[in-house]
Structure 1
Amino acid sequence: MATSAKPTIIIVHGGWHGPASYEKLTTALESAGYEVHVPHLPSMNQARPPNADLSTDTELVRGYVEALVRAGRTVVALLHSYGGQVGTNALRGLGLEARAAAGLAGGVSHLVYLSGYAVPEGTAMMDKVGEFGHMDLVPVAFDFAEDGSCVHRDPRLLLVGPRRPSDDDAEVEAYLKTLARWNGKCMYQATEHAAWRGIPVAYIYTTADMTVPLDYQKNFVEGLEKAGRKVQTFELAAGHCPNFTAPQGVVDAVNKVILGNGL
């Protein structure tokens, strides 16, 4: 359990993922003394046709975090992949500094993007794919059904990463079984808000990422900095899912963000 001196961590998960996909990271964070929450995004509810999307996910995450900060909690939001889009859209106005200025306790102290989408208002995930000229790769990576739901065609390679000699194949298979069909329409929906404009930001680069390539990640950070935000950055030599392949590296980065800011 966390001590009262440590912030609460909320993990906003990525597409195809659910809370079970973050078991290793959750355990590692809890071992470091944090209380961890991983709400299940409605867009992963497996409804056919999909009945939840970015707006529904945004509403859930905002309500979840509002409950924590109204209870006086200091919250660090760890935003993985599509979770970056959700957290960016959901957490505007909930920053620790803004709430303190209004005489309110609690708030979000940091947004920590983990190979996550950190974009301006009015931007969809696919806008970035198009900007880099990669739209032809979308059907190669993702298998869309007629109802807009989709699965990843090769999650072992493109999410977890190429096989390493140290891999426990049974553990990898168990992780892959936590992945499921997602409402792919979320990738085409634009954010309405940009919480990073008012909340301190850190970014954890995943240098071997084959789903959100490093060029995208660097571009996100460049955009934040051009908008006047200082970004604390870290690098992990990992694929798209360090929550599974490098959880301690994620914990180390989170510790540095928190300890470096006196929280």
Structure 2
Amino acid sequence: MKEDAEHIKLVTTKLADDGHEIILMMHSYGGICGTESTKGVSKAERQAIERPGGIIYLLYVSSPVPEVGGSILTMIGQNMLNFIKSEGDYLISEPDGCASVNFSDLPHAQSVQYAKEMKVHSATSFAGRLQNAEYLEIPVTYIICKDDVSIPPALQRSVIEMISTQSGREVRTLICNSGHFPNISAPAELASLI
């Protein structure tokens, strides 16, 4: 997770150095590494040291974003393991199970086709603990995927509540009529919400 965050930070820092204001959009696991990457790259932090650009907005899409010290694993626990098996440092998805959870709003044949493309994921990345909570300082919008089986709406709403309570600011909340991957099953609706 830290390596993913470092990579994102390299990209956003370069964009900020070029004077760009950035809206960082994060989906699913991307929410934790994206959040972790923001320290020192927010527009407010950069302005304080007379640097241009920076992140002005965080946009989460069906992301299980923990509090500082938490991880994806502490949020989801063993729930994800019903179709994922651990092999060393990797998590391997079983296509039928992955299809029924991650692509639940697509026709079965199409969902299995997409699931077969999801080969492996780093096991240690799910255990990476969040150290930076710039969602407390940077404005946030959260898009709830209302038919998501992977990250259920109740979990998505708990993230919104946590950020709102801890930041003292309202989290703008939008609803997408999709499962976990709206970019596949509801791209026009997702684009309109964005």
TM-score (norm 1): 0.67
- Alpha-carbon contact 1:59-1:90 (below 8 Å) kept: yes
Matched, 1:125 2:72: yes
2:144 maps to what in 1?
205
Query: How far does the alpha carbon of each residue in 1:157-182 deviate from its partner, in whole angstroms, 9 at most, with x for none?
Result: 11111444xx8x56x56544542211
Matched, 1:84 2:31: yes
- Alpha-carbon contact 2:68-2:132 (below 8 Å) kept: yes
- Alpha-carbon contact 1:80-1:113 (below 8 Å) kept: yes
Using the alignment, how far apart are the partners of 2:89 and 2:133 within structure 1? Answer: 26
Q: Tell me which amino acid in the other structure corresponds to 1:141.
A: F
Using the alignment, how far apart are the partners of 1:206 and 1:238 within structure 2? Answer: 5
Q: Structure 2, unaligned stretches of length 5 or more?
A: none
1:70 maps to what in 2?
17
Q: Post-superposition shift, 1:238?
A: 0.9
- Alpha-carbon contact 2:99-2:114 (below 8 Å) kept: no
Q: Post-superposition shift, 1:61?
A: 0.9
2:173 maps to what in 1?
233
Using the alignment, how far apart are the partners of 2:183 and 2:44 within structure 1? Answer: 28
2:93 maps to what in 1?
152
Q: Secondary structure at the match of 2:149?
A: coil
Q: Secondary structure at the match of 2:51?
A: coil
2:56 maps to what in 1?
109
RMSD over aligned CA atoms reads 1.9
- Alpha-carbon contact 1:80-1:116 (below 8 Å) kept: yes
- Alpha-carbon contact 2:102-2:181 (below 8 Å) kept: yes
Q: Summarize the alignment of residues 27-46 of structure 1 with structure 2, pairs less than 5 Å apart.
A: none
TM-score (norm 2): 0.89
Q: Show structure 1 runs of 4+ deviating over 6 A.
A: none
Q: Tell me which amino acid in the other structure corresponds to 2:143.
A: I
Q: Post-superposition shift, 1:141?
A: 2.8
| CA 1:109–1:139: 2 relative to 1, 3 Å | same
Q: Judging by fraction of residues, say which structure has more helix.
A: 2
Q: Tell me which amino acid in the other structure corresponds to 2:149.
A: M
Q: Post-superposition shift, 1:78?
A: 0.9
Q: Secondary structure at the match of 1:244?
A: helix
* Residues paired across the two proteins, number: 191
Q: Secondary structure at the match of 2:57?
A: strand
2:120 maps to what in 1?
181
Q: Secondary structure at the match of 1:120?
A: coil
